[in-house]
Amino acid sequence: MCPVRFPASLGTRRWPSCLHLVEKTRRGVACARELAPELRQLVVAGGVACNQVVRSNLQALADKESLELVLPPPRWCTDNGVMVAWAGIERLALGWAEPPPPPLPQGGRRGGADWRQALRVLQVQRYQGGSAQPGSGQHKLNIRAGA
């Protein structure tokens, strides 16, 4: 659970995203500590690290986990496109290149007609109200099979 309560003014779209990021980070820290118990720092970069709500909640997580949170200045927290491209350059330099994907089938789409049915297996109904407050439990998505 996110270590800091979100203000009601944050809105129903943004705080679940932060909650998700903080929870995934908490799990990542736990996993990393199994591999490296001496873990002392949490480094966050990229566009998400520019978000002040995310930064403050990750700081609370780092404090709780006795970690130093390392964040670049917001002006350096830019789009991840350059980082993805650089990671590709590094992989290529190490010989970790992967072959390109096969050509698209006739019609120009991967997966043929069945891909749409596969996407229908889970339908997520978005929250439709404006009264849910953080921590109320009303933010949970309703997931149902079929359709």
CB 137 within 8 A of CB 143: no
CB 59 within 8 A of CB 69: yes
pLDDT value of residue 45: 84
Please give the Cα distance from 45 to 73 (Å, whole number).
Answer: 9
> 12-16, 42-46, 55-59, 91-95: which has the minimum mean pLDDT?
12-16
pLDDT value of residue 147: 39
| Segment 64-74, tens digit of pLDDT | 999 999 998 88
The residue ranges of every structural domain in the chain are: 1-80
What secondary structure letter does DSSP report for 104? Answer: P
Rounded to whole angstroms, what are the CA distances from 64 to 4, 21, 29, 48, 142?
11, 16, 11, 21, 31
User: pLDDT band at 46, cuts 50/70/90?
Assistant: confident
User: pLDDT band at 7, cuts 50/70/90?
Assistant: low
